[in-house]
Structure 1
């Protein structure tokens, strides 16, 4: 069992010591310190949170109760150690192997807002983004449909209309954790579309209000709101669990991402959307992803927007043994199935989806279009939610959604990126659901 300390603003917490006894761990204040680096320390009998913190000169953030193969402490550090601990610290820990990695601002969101539409509050009246109606993706507004034609071509490309007919529950009963920059909690589009408030968390500000912060049109402000809105356009009856790990500039810490994944697992998420990434892999986040896989929770991760190979982490880990049945990596194509100019690519990339000019809710009751692999990922997330709501086995879904993708290499298309946009390619929602629900 993992016990989380300090970043959730707890005042006191009694934790098990390493393998024996109990120990009270002092915690940081509500405005928890952000650490330059983080260390994973293998624990031994007799260790206490105080002794480990003292040896490293850091702050204990998690203390694991010696589950088989995972008897560790997670320690935040601000002293420069360059990936290794000093000899004095290692002597104090009996020379054991300690893993250290960069923590602060290691992760960033991936997307660019390209257009806004103000004055749209009335269009969201009644709150709920609804299913395909009259050939256009629409929003339910006080009992009548108000057409939103901006995304019609995108939804036609992935077969959303047919997909929603094949999955008439529309995601009902499924909870999707959006781990991002937060969302606009007051946006009418999210009325009755969020999970219970006691499942929300802001790991950036260490409180229970994951509200987007920033200035409209700058940085990442609106990123999470857009991502959540895309999920709901695909699976309109699903519930969004908002978890904030990114600041207004779009950056966030390793510890925030790992603890948000753990939080989502513990609070009933069925699918986790990670429209964020890092140029470096993380053992700390790996452990959280492994716990998600063991719990049957699916994770979708965007590939990054630098037009480079390799793709960002954790998307890059999607083919790894132990994660390949639960983690899906997603890049972006345009409406002609051509790789988006910004999308990263690699042999590790599993699939792509349309990620250019995707309209969705924006802060202050508005609507905005964003482009990025961040926008492609929630289309896949919403598709998984549709399948889960119809009773599909989650253990098979990550494989099937990639296997049933539409070929983006035929007739020489994307020749420069052969086998680097997935084995097949672009999301095909009807093909996926027919294979899954038959």
Structure 2
């Protein structure tokens, strides 16, 4: 009797629970899987669109439609201000002229010097190949003004250039050298290179106590006495100019060259 009662009670509770579950919505039923057919289509479609876009961009790139060709400026203010754009200079390329530059050296890996051949002498180290020891590659810059073969063509691209590395970076952002080494470099330009022109973008301070015939002054005098044009920097005094030019540009008949900013104004320190 007890067993029969228990079975009936269990059945009643099950029916009641089942009914309540259907009404309230929490019946423990296994969820039906949803097939993501649209998601697969989306992935495939995106892949096709990406491939089409990649091919289109490749074609546009190769066709050059997106490239804007900006030619380099016809000239720069420094060249114009110095008068190198004067039509009367057309055809003057420096052909047959031997120019010797005493500076920090030259870096021929610069693309502006493609195809350029120079004569190099190292007074600082023992490098047999051209090298620039300077701060900001000063010698390379000076050489480029003369013989650069690309972008801004040098002022005298057909000269025979000799470069002597005699100055180097002193670690403080300055290019310095012992005066005796500079004198040896100038002498090399005279005796070994047979220079027509010697470029000295350098100089030492001229003071009242300075010996008139120092090593660089003496050899510069030798050069001008032989008919060699010596072009030397007037100095970097700027606004603190004391009225004296640098050594060896103080030598009579040496061509002493100053500097200016755009517009022709002198440089302030």
Scaled by the length of structure 2, what TM-score is found? Answer: 0.61
Aligned equivalents of 1:147, 1:193: Cα separation in 2: 23
Aligned equivalents of 1:179, 1:172: Cα separation in 2: 20
Instruction: Give the Å deviation of 1:166.
Output: 3.1
Question: RMSD of aligned C-alpha atoms?
Answer: 2.3
The equivalent residue for 2:48 is none
1:238 to 145, 155, 159: 159
Determine whether 1:332 maps to 2:259: yes
SS at match of 1:257: helix
Instruction: Give the Å deviation of 1:284.
Output: 1.4
SS at match of 2:187: helix
1:278 to 204, 208, 212: 204
SS at match of 2:180: helix
Determine whether 1:304 maps to 2:238: no
Aligned equivalents of 1:213, 1:231: Cα separation in 2: 19
Instruction: Give the Å deviation of 1:221.
Output: 3.2
Structure 1 residues 155 and 340, CA gap change in structure 2 (3 angstroms): same
Structure with the largest fraction of helix: 2
Aligned equivalents of 1:331, 1:154: Cα separation in 2: 13
Find the structure with the greater CA-based Rg.
Answer: 2
Aligned equivalents of 1:303, 1:181: Cα separation in 2: 18
Instruction: Give the Å deviation of 1:231.
Output: 2.2
Structure 1 residues 175 and 194, CA gap change in structure 2 (3 angstroms): farther
The equivalent residue for 2:21 is none
Scaled by the length of structure 1, what TM-score is found? Answer: 0.38
Aligned pairs for 1:252-267 within 5 A: 252-266=177-191, 267=193
Structure 1 residues 192 and 295, CA gap change in structure 2 (3 angstroms): farther
Aligned equivalents of 1:231, 1:290: Cα separation in 2: 25
User: Between Structure 1 and Structure 2, how many residues are aligned?
Assistant: 181
The equivalent residue for 1:183 is 106
Aligned equivalents of 1:298, 1:228: Cα separation in 2: 17
The equivalent residue for 2:53 is none
Aligned equivalents of 1:208, 1:147: Cα separation in 2: 37
The equivalent residue for 1:391 is none
1:251 to 166, 176, 198: 176
| Aligned 8 A contact 2:133 2:165 in 1 | no
Structure with the largest fraction of strand: 1
Q: Deviations over 1:259-314 (max 9, x none)?
A: 11111112122111111111145521122112212322111111222322222111
| Aligned 8 A contact 1:212 1:221 in 2 | no
| Aligned 8 A contact 1:193 1:240 in 2 | no
The equivalent residue for 1:155 is 79
Point out where structure 1 has 5 or more consecutive residues left out of the alignment: 1-145, 215-219, 343-438
Structure 1 residues 150 and 166, CA gap change in structure 2 (3 angstroms): closer
Q: Deviations over 1:107-151 (max 9, x none)?
A: xxxxxxxxxxxxxxxxxxxxxxxxxxxxxxxxxxxxxxx953285
| Aligned 8 A contact 2:101 2:163 in 1 | yes
Aligned pairs for 1:397-412 within 5 A: none
| Aligned 8 A contact 1:179 1:242 in 2 | yes
Point out where structure 2 has 5 or more consecutive residues left out of the alignment: 1-69, 148-153
Q: Which ranges of 4 or more aligned residues in structure 1 deviate by more than 6 Å?
A: none
